[in-house]
Structure 1
Amino acid sequence: MNTSLKIGSIMGIPIKLHITFLLILPVFALVFATNPQPYGFADVGSATESYALSLLTTILLFACILLHELGHSYIAKSYGVEIKDITLLLFGGVSSMEEIPRDPSQEFKMAFAGPLVSLIIGFSLLALHLVAISFIPSYSNTSIYLMVGILASINIVLAVFNLIPAFPMDGGRLLRAWYAKRMSYVKATHYAAYFGKMFAFIMGIIGLLWNPWLIMIAFFVYIGASEEDKSTTVTVSLEKYKVSEVMSKEVISVTPEMTVEDLSHFMFENKHLGYPVIKGNSLKGIVTFTDIRNVLPHERYATLVSDVMTKDVISLPSNSNAAEAFKIMTVNNIGRVLVTDNDTVKGILSRTDLMRLLMLANE
């Protein structure tokens, strides 16, 4: 199910709206519409005017969040990192990057770019605010005065919040970059993640005593720190190995003329849920249990593997490192990938193979 809607592109980067953003948009507008000055528009004009101003402020706020993410993306692209998209969702925005630069100075600049954009927006609006108050006497009585003030303060708060040294905030990456100049990348990630978890723990206690919202933020920070730590450890560990060292060289394949009924029995006998489809020496596709499970039982005798197989096969060469294979499986949400050299199948690598390798490597 596609949960995001593309609304355009900036710098060649697709911009998407997640379904959670569409749900939170009227909620934010309602919050601004029901709060009095200087935090909302409850006492400005009619209810319709108040809500219209609140909705406009909310849209401009998320536009500022988009600029924050574009700040990260601009620096990342300058270092050759591929940006797949930027998605606006419930808690703000997220840039989907191919990978985070390992060079500490590059990661530092990329991480700081977002908060810097928010600070520039916030202080620019604040300066505009102060100039307008000085030269336009009636300005402080207008709805624009409230809107500019709200946007200025939120952008500054957004920048400061993101500079908290805890994953997944930008401050966590800044802290890791600082550590990485003094130790290995994995160890730097461990230290930065540990700091983030401790911060989340303290925030959670404060939330219990003061504000329940902080508990949700603490949970978000703790999970983010843990996932970053685990992901980095896995990636760096797998980079030491070539795919050819881990893959299964004896590939069990099926033919495109096999029926789905025969394939289901074949899967049960061989205890695998996915097979390359080969005719002669030519790779035709790949078929998995997912491809056949929607075929009705009485139709499986007349349905061929060629009718249900996936023809766009995701593969990689045998000289790739295992970390690249893991990334391909994760991004494409698949459990195995074919290993091919010059269109010839050399082996097959599964997620189970990689997990087994990690267990042996960490013993």
Structure 2
Amino acid sequence: MRTSLKIGTIIGIPVKLHITFLLIMPVFAFVFATTVPPLGFAGTASPAMVYVLSLITTILLFTCVLLHELGHSYIAKGFGVEIKDITLLLFGGVSSMEEIPRVPSQELKMAFAGPFVSFVIGVALLLFNVLLASYMAGYSATSVFLMLNILGSINIVLGLFNLLPAFPMDGGRLLRAWYAKRMSYVKATHYAASFGKMFAFLMGIFGLFFNPWLILIAFFVYIGASEEDRATTVTVLLERYKVREIMSPEVVGVSPDINVEELSKFMFEKKHLGYPVLKGNSLKGIVTFTDIRNIPPHERYAKLVSDIMTRDIISVNPQDPASEAFKVMTRNNIGRVLVVDNGELVGILSRSDLMRAMMLLNE
């Protein structure tokens, strides 16, 4: 099931809307519609007009979030980082980058670009609001003034919030960049993540007494810090290995010419739910138990593996760093990846293989 919808491309970067964004839009509009000025439109116009203004403000707000992410992406592209896409989510936006720059000065510039864009937008809107108010003195433009004030204020808050020194906010990356000038990248990440966890813990305690929403944010920050620490450590350590050094060269495959019923029995005997499809030494595709489930039992004798297999193969090269295989598995949410060299299957690499390599490196 597709959870994101592409709505366009900006500076060569696909922009997507996640399903959660579509769910949160009416909620934001409702909040603006029921909040009194200066941060809402309640009581400023007819109910229908209030909701129209609130929906427009919500759309413009997420446009500002998109510009925030484009700020990160524009700087990152300048450093040669590939941007897969930008997705607008429930809690804002996220840029999917192949890899965060490890040069401290580059990461610092990239991390600060987003908050900087938010600050520029916020200050510009608030100044424009003041100028517009003086120019239109005597005219009724309450809704316009309120909208500019809301958007300007939220952008300032967004910029400040993202400067909090904790992952996954931009402030966590700024802190890591500062540490990375003084120590290794892994240690810098660990220090920055530890600071973020401590920050999250204090925020959660504060939330217990003053605002329950802070507990949710604290949980989000703690998980983000933990994930960044783990992913960075694994990636950096695995760069020491090539895929060929830790892959399993013996791979059990199936022929594209057997029928689906035979494949079903084979899976039951071997107790694995996915196999590469091989014609001699040539890799033709991959077939899983899910593919079998889509075929009614009475049709499985007539259908061949070649009819149901997936030809879009996710694979790595044996000369790739093992860290690249880890990224491929994480990006595609899979537990193993095929190793292909010049169209031939030469091995398979699983998460277990990667974790075993990690254990050896840490000894």
TM category, shorter: over 0.9
SS at match of 2:138: helix
Are 2:72 and 1:68 aligned?
Answer: no
Q: Which residue of 2 aligns with 1:203?
A: 203
Take 2:272 and 2:62, find their aligned partners in 1: how far apart are those partners? 46
1:140–1:106 distance in 2 versus 1, CA, 3 Å: farther
Q: Which residue of 2 aligns with 1:342?
A: 342
Cα displacement (A) at 1:271: 4.2
Cα displacement (A) at 1:270: 3.5
SS at match of 1:143: helix
Cα displacement (A) at 1:356: 2.4
Take 1:198 and 1:137, find their aligned partners in 2: how far apart are those partners? 50
Are 2:245 and 1:257 aligned?
Answer: no
Take 2:139 and 2:227, find their aligned partners in 1: how far apart are those partners? 48
How is 1:17-166 mapped onto 2 (pairs within 5 angstroms)? Answer: 17-138=17-138, 142-166=142-166
Cα displacement (A) at 1:174: 0.5
Structure 1 contact 19–89 (Cα < 8 Å) conserved: yes
1:234–1:139 distance in 2 versus 1, CA, 3 Å: farther
Q: What residue identity is the alignment partner of 1:334?
A: I
Name the stretch that deviates more: 265-274 or 22-31: 265-274
How is 1:140-289 mapped onto 2 (pairs within 5 angstroms)? Answer: 142-289=142-289
Identity %: 73
Give the length in aligned residue pairs.
Answer: 363
Take 2:58 and 2:344, find their aligned partners in 1: how far apart are those partners? 54
Name the stretch that deviates more: 226-235 or 258-267: 258-267
Take 2:37 and 2:272, find their aligned partners in 1: how far apart are those partners? 64
SS at match of 2:37: coil
Deviations 1:110-139 (A, max 9, x none): 110000000000111122122223333236
1:168–1:23 distance in 2 versus 1, CA, 3 Å: same
Take 2:198 and 2:354, find their aligned partners in 1: how far apart are those partners? 31
Take 1:258 and 1:281, find their aligned partners in 2: how far apart are those partners? 16
Cα displacement (A) at 1:362: 2.6
Name the stretch that deviates more: 201-210 or 303-312: 303-312
Deviations 1:283-339 (A, max 9, x none): 211223332233334433332211221112222221111110111122122332222
Cα displacement (A) at 1:13: 1.2
SS at match of 2:9: strand
Q: What residue identity is the alignment partner of 1:245?
A: E
Name the stretch that deviates more: 35-44 or 104-113: 35-44
State the TM-score, normalized to the length of structure 1: 0.95
SS at match of 1:31: helix
Deviations 1:38-76 (A, max 9, x none): 111112121111111111111111111110011011011
SS at match of 1:345: strand
Structure 1 contact 139–145 (Cα < 8 Å) conserved: no
Name the stretch that deviates more: 269-278 or 1-10: 269-278
SS at match of 1:5: strand
SS at match of 1:340: strand
Take 2:206 and 2:231, find their aligned partners in 1: how far apart are those partners? 29
Take 2:296 and 2:290, find their aligned partners in 1: how far apart are those partners? 13
Cα displacement (A) at 1:146: 1.0
Unaligned runs of 5+ in 2: none
Q: Which residue of 1 aligns with 2:9?
A: 9
Structure 1 contact 132–139 (Cα < 8 Å) conserved: no
Take 2:253 and 2:52, find their aligned partners in 1: how far apart are those partners? 61
SS at match of 1:252: coil
Name the stretch that deviates more: 106-115 or 53-62: 53-62
Cα displacement (A) at 1:192: 0.7
Cα displacement (A) at 1:141: 5.3
Take 1:227 and 1:31, find their aligned partners in 2: how far apart are those partners? 32
1:141–1:285 distance in 2 versus 1, CA, 3 Å: closer
Deviations 1:214-242 (A, max 9, x none): 11111111111111111111111211111
SS at match of 2:159: helix
Structure 1 contact 258–304 (Cα < 8 Å) conserved: yes
Cα displacement (A) at 1:33: 1.1
Cα displacement (A) at 1:140: 7.6
State the TM-score, normalized to the length of structure 2: 0.95
Unaligned runs of 5+ in 1: none
Structure 1 contact 125–151 (Cα < 8 Å) conserved: yes
1:360–1:297 distance in 2 versus 1, CA, 3 Å: farther
1:113–1:18 distance in 2 versus 1, CA, 3 Å: same
Q: What residue identity is the alignment partner of 2:162?
A: N
Q: Which residue of 2 aligns with 1:329?
A: 329
CA RMSD of aligned residues (A): 1.6
Deviations 1:228-272 (A, max 9, x none): 111111111211111111111122222111222322333344443
1:332–1:193 distance in 2 versus 1, CA, 3 Å: same
Name the stretch that deviates more: 39-48 or 198-207: 39-48
Take 1:350 and 1:257, find their aligned partners in 2: how far apart are those partners? 27
Take 1:122 and 1:333, find their aligned partners in 2: how far apart are those partners? 38
Take 1:62 and 1:138, find their aligned partners in 2: how far apart are those partners? 32
SS at match of 1:138: coil
